[in-house]
Amino acid sequence: MTKTECLRILSTLIDESRLEHSVNVSVCARDLALKYGADTGKAELTGLIHDCAKCLTYDKMLELCKKYDLKTDEISKTSRALLHGPLGACLARDLFGIDDDEILSAIACHTTGKKGMNLLDKVVCLADYIEPLRRFDGVEEIRQLAFTDIDLALLKALEISIVHVINSGLLLHPATVEARNELLSLVRDKR
């Protein structure tokens, strides 16, 4: 599927601001992939469609979870933000014809992270945090780290997310904690 075809389908699923974000993530993911030796084509495509389920209503998300027989945990069911990644992987397969397990994994875990993230998972997750439209305390430090140490940059990003989730009184997904702890061990081992 061409980029033009992807954009056409995406424009039916997400709003204009989310489409701009997705294009930015795509470019950023390509640049990170180039830096770290990941497949740039996969990174660019994954970044483009990673949020394909983001603008769906909660009811529509639940309906599609049933349609795709998507097994979701109780914490994910409490939040559209947590559902859109795994559901996006289902939509990527169905609507975009993607059957590449690396791409589907990166879409599924781009919000929470997970234990055992591969390079594409890390690239897309980090690109989603640092794309140019993102504005939050600490983002500039993460942007600088992103092109020197992907593990440290992603660790910092997840830690900021964890604090935000806790301060917001929301449920913290265990996959995020597992990803953070594994990254912390990797970063410590590098020292």
Tens digits of per-residue pLDDT, 108-147? Answer: 999 999 999 999 999 999 999 999 999 988 899 999 999 9
**Percentage above 90 pLDDT, the chain:** 93
Dump pLDDT digits (tens) for 32-73: 999 999 999 999 999 999 999 999 999 999 999 999 999 989
- Which structure tokens are listed for 61? 């998300």
The DSSP string of 25-68 is HHHHHHHHHHHHT--HHHHHHHHHHTTTTTTS-HHHHHHHHHHT
pLDDT at residue 136, as a whole number: 87
pLDDT at residue 29, as a whole number: 98
Sorted by where each begins, the domain ranges of the chain are 3-137
Is the pLDDT assigned to residue 190 strictly greater than 90?
Answer: no
Average pLDDT, the chain: 96
Distance of CA 29 to the CA centre of its chain: 10
The answer to whether residues 164 and 143 touch, using CB atoms and an 8 Å cutoff, is: no
Among candidate residues 87, 105, 90, 126, the one with its CA nearest the CA of residue 42? 105
- If one compares 191 and 9, the residue with the highest pLDDT of the two is 9
Lowest mean pLDDT among 38-47, 84-93, 182-191: 182-191
> Selecting from 1.10.230.10, 1.10.1750.10, 3.40.50.170, 1.10.3210.10, what CATH number does the domain 3-137 have?
1.10.3210.10
Give the pTM: 0.96
Using the 8-state DSSP alphabet, how is residue 172 labeled?
Answer: P
Question: How does residue 17 score in pLDDT terms, banded at 50, 70 and 90?
Answer: very high
